[in-house]
Amino acid sequence: MNRYLVPASLLGTAVGGAVLFKDYVAGGACPSKATIQGKTVIVTGANTGIGKQTALELARRGGNIILACRDMEKCEAAAKDIRRETLNHRVNARHLDLASLKSIREFAAKIIEEEERVHVLVNNAAVMRCPHWTTEDGFEMQLGVNHLGHFLLTNLLLDKLKASAPSRIINLSSLAHIAGHIDFDDLNWEKRKYDTKAAYCQSKLAVVLFTKELSQRLQGTGVTVNALHPGVARTELGRHTGMHSSTFSSFTLGPIFWLLVKSPQLAAQPSTYLAVAEELEGVSGKYFHGLKEKAPAPEAEDVEVARRLWAESARLVGL
């Protein structure tokens, strides 16, 4: 957890009000007390941050948790931490590299072979504002991991999810999707000068569009899918932004960030809520900002864009 220095002027009697304000901004704890005893849950990117905390919350509620991560050493350590903290020994680590279509197919094949049911899929893993990297298959990294990797994974597991109905898919997007635009002429930034922020926003818009189109295709199956913005959290996701290494950010903006930025534990509450809440049974195709359903950006509700993105995504990943 990052520690920020707070000026003396913000201390004293102001602290009580600041803490209350911080709690309000953060959105609070999952209001549902529902358990998921015996249900199988997959959480991608679960070795750290929001993913790890989501896995921990769902393990506490009795789930059979599968942590799907690229770094197996960190994944095994996270699984051990969660087993120790929750006393739930049905928490296991599996290798999944969302920047590799081969790895995704191998992971899905193993799940289909070894797991009788999959009740919840939390597509949590993400990269944010990284340099101009490409995946193993040549996709721009943020689109490749944040959207295309989860697009393929979800489609490969759909039959298992349908057989396990009622089941749920939770896609982590971001408020940044409102600044996104799907450029069908250059999805992978091969023609334009690379803009890492714009690429991130495009990838998170793609997540919401994928959610909308998938919900239409899943009507009547007992499988729901929703997207969410978990809030801005203190996690490793922002490691490429330079925020934590900047003296200006740490000392000048630090107090503001202390008020506005969530802990991973609080940021995991919306994912937990969408995974377990009984009142959300049958709710699908929606976008949640924290614990509340909200309207996404206008482009995220464009049916034709969603259909076109689905077709192009399917072509790119070889479905």
Which residues does 8 contact at the CB level (< 8 Å), separation at least 6? none
Q: Considering 4, 24, 194, 200, which one is annotated as catalytic?
A: 200
Q: Which residues of 129-163 are buried (b: 16+ CB within 10 A; e: fewer)?
A: bbeebebebebbbbbbbbbbbbbbbbbbbbebbee
200 as an active site residue: the answer is yes
| Catalytic residue ranges | 200
